[in-house]
Structure 1
């Protein structure tokens, strides 16, 4: 095994899936010297993450293996990355100042991130091993040709590439890049961390939530783009009817607190549209609390890809929300579900369709859900063995 392993990704900001990735990947690398790297120095331990160093401060010598842990890294531009690494107020200022001028935005991002890379979460390792684990890039056609070429040049240097959906795979294969189809790392969350997650469910806000709804609850999440009044009315109508029909409570939780993710204000406005006795806003942003909340739910409904993946790992039904203003932009949630799930389990709906979708999902076969979870675990392990073999060839 190599003397040093560097896990790299967007776990330098608060987003549920990104925080989870290095936990999953490091679980397969016991007793190894591991460093956790992002684009900036940030201590994410208060939210269940890792102490993250800026990659520019970590030497990538011949004894290092750089592993891109997962996520939609292939199409995250420098400007997007830089905005999401700001505080909410800083992000608003940056968007106001730079959003209308792409060249100015690119210059600002380069200064903020201390890198000239246009797609900064895709990094080459000239002397060590380079691995891409279950990465995504469904918005590949929206990148500029110079951005695509930067990514392709790096991928050509990789020792192993796995992508998490058939859409990304198709784009890379068309560009001449061979890659395996690998499920998202989060499919392993129950297998690797169930004991910890069960412990988290016995205390704190998760335990309080479970006690509040003795008949069970549905876990609901949505991004800020669902926050207009008309959409909130549709969500409240569907959730209220579902509660009345099933007796379940509704727990609203945020899967990401970084800019361009989930905001608390729309949750408060949705809660005000619903009966207080059947609705609760879950405030914890701790990774393991969110996992426990999902694991103990009856069904998940939301726009977060990883909310659905973690629910699925626990054999639970999950309904994916499609943005009300959805255009023809590629969608990573739909791409992932269409790649890995049978049609009978694949439910993606608009906000005004959630009542029927949720009731139908609650009637899905528990056995079929369990089989689907086990199948994805098996496929992920098979891919994991491939890149672990590559890692083993770089001896320290």
Structure 2
């Protein structure tokens, strides 16, 4: 795998900003992987903060980072925060995401600027023991799964809540990492997971958890007006004008970038465009290493000789939401591309990587948990055109019903979280 060459250098900021003083009441820390550029992770703290009403949470990740220029937050590193706050009681909410299977090496590389990430991968990717030691030194933790916080990290009393997290491949993880994650979950005050696959794995290990939709199902309900403003300005407005007949919002990660896979995607898109008349708007759902690569999109665009295509440059999460919301539907590898399309009751389809084999993946696991049976979860790249056609034929009222159901279910489940903090 190769880090994205277009990762913005400003995404992770060197140096430590001043650690905030804890408020007089019990502070709430929103913790997660929103210390790097990834669409879903950057959305989570917005949703959770909005659902907390009048609280003033602290945003924390593994490193100090400033993602505000992409619609994210100024993020504090959790370890210095814990050291500075000492015996203070805290509430910690893990805001969501596939954090149960994210190891220290993976986390540390994704938090690097692109050139440093490339150097680290070249030097250490084939030497796992040294890679782990390097990652733990860089992150300042001995944790094997650093986005799962042990309850004892803060020396004072802590209420620890996991909000709609995922871990579909936890059973395939290294035994030591899996044991650490299960211990952290077992010590937590509440655990919510976003798919039945993760729920079943935790139940088999004796961990009680609740089934909670991903926080991103709330984006239309909470931020619809904000997103609508982004559809009327900037690149999204330009794309809407360029494709008056409509467009497919599309994205895929860099590991789809080999020639054979790009040829298959291009052939499918050409067939789809002939039958629908829609253009293609390509966007990046993540600019961190091992995410999406604009160069792959340019190579795809060069193959689309009979299809109108645009590449959106913006990495702002609200522009991405707006691009999806104004589209005819979404197709791609991102789970949160799918979930935002679900929130806006739009057709959606996830691309299955050729190497996926029989592994369901988090996209299929989420769809199997929350989608109507007639809505297809994934499609192989060789069958893209048929899959898109099937997705576009979905019953609009059924899609609206699903969106409403998910908003209601998440709101109810988060109400229980709020009660635990009172």
What TM-score range do you get, normalising by the shorter chain?
over 0.9
Q: Which of 112, 119, 128 is the equivalent residue of 1:93?
A: 119
Match of 2:137 among 111, 130, 145: 111
- Cross-structure match for 2:316: 286
Would you say 1:38 and 2:68 are equivalent positions? no
User: 2: CA distance between counterparts of 1:364 and 1:123?
Assistant: 41
Other structure's SS at 1:110 match:
helix
TM-score, normalised via structure 1 length: 0.97
**Aligned ranges 1:142-161 → 2 under 5 Å:** 142-161=172-191
CA distance in 2, matches of 1:124, 1:386: 22
For 1:70, the equivalent position in structure 2 comes to 96
CA shift at 1:4, angstroms? 0.8
Question: What residue is the counterpart of 2:372 in the other structure?
Answer: 342
Matched residues in 1 for 2:79 and 2:348: separation? 39
The answer as to 2:206 corresponding to 1:180 is no
Aligned to 1:194: 224
- Equivalent residue for 2:402, pick from 365, 368, 372: 372
Q: Following the alignment from structure 1 to structure 2, what is the Cα–Cα distance between the partners of residues 165 and 26? A: 22
- Secondary structure class of the residue paired with 1:309: helix
1:209 paired residue number: 239
Query: Which residue of structure 2 aligns with residue 225 of structure 1?
Result: 255
2:37 to 14, 21, 29: 14
Summarize deviations over 1:162-217 as a string: whole Å, max 9, x none: 00011111111111100000000000000000010001111100100101000110
Q: Number of residues paired by the alignment?
A: 392
My pick for the range that moved more, 147-156 or 368-377, is 147-156
Structure 1 window deviating more from structure 2 (249-258 vs 83-92): it is 83-92
SS of residue in 1 equivalent to 2:178? helix
- Measure the CA separation in 1 of the matches of 2:318 and 2:185: 32
- Mapped partners of 2:108, 2:71: distance in 1: 22
The answer to whether the aligner puts 1:390 opposite 2:420 as a matched pair is yes
Query: Match for residue 310 of structure 1?
Result: 340
Are residue 162 (structure 1) and residue 197 (structure 2) matched? no
Tell me the alpha carbon deviations over residues 346-381 of structure 1, each in whole angstroms, 9 at most, x when there is no partner: 231011111111112111100000001111111111
* Cα contact 1:66–1:125 (8 A) shared by 2: no
The question of 1:56 aligning with 2:79 is answered yes
1:357 — aligned with what? 387
Q: Which stretch shifts more, 77-86 or 148-157?
A: 148-157
Deviation at 1:124, TM superposition (A): 2.3
| Kept in 2: contact 1:315–1:370 (CA 8 A) | yes
Q: Return closer, same or farther for 1:155/1:378 CA change in 2, 3 Å cut-off.
A: same
2:303 match: secondary structure: coil
Q: CA deviation at 1:73?
A: 0.7
Which stretch of the first structure deviates more once superposed, 63-72 or 268-277?
268-277
Q: In 2, distance between residues paired with 1:208 and 1:343?
A: 36
Conservation of the 8 A alpha-carbon contact between 1:222 and 1:303:
yes
The answer to whether the 8 A contact 2:330-2:348 is kept is yes
Partner Cα distance (1:171, 1:82) in 2: 26
* Offset, 1:329: 4.0
* Alignment of 1:320 onto 2:346: no
Cα distance in 2 between the residues matched to 1:129 and 1:379 = 23
RMSD of aligned alpha carbons: 1.3
Tell me, in whole angstroms, the C-alpha distance in 2 between the residues paired with 1:268 and 1:157: 47
Partner of 2:147: 121
Stretch deviating more after TM superposition (383-392 or 188-197): 383-392
Deviations 1:318-366 (A, max 9, x none): 0110001213445111111111112211231011111111112111100
CA contact (8 A) 1:139 1:330 kept: no
Greater alpha carbon shift after TM alignment, 288-297 vs 121-130: 121-130
Give the superposition deviation at 1:97. Answer: 1.0
Once the two structures are TM-superposed, the CA of residue 28 in structure 1 deviates from its matched residue by 1.1
The alpha carbon displacement at 1:76 in A equals: 0.3
Matched, 1:262 2:292: yes
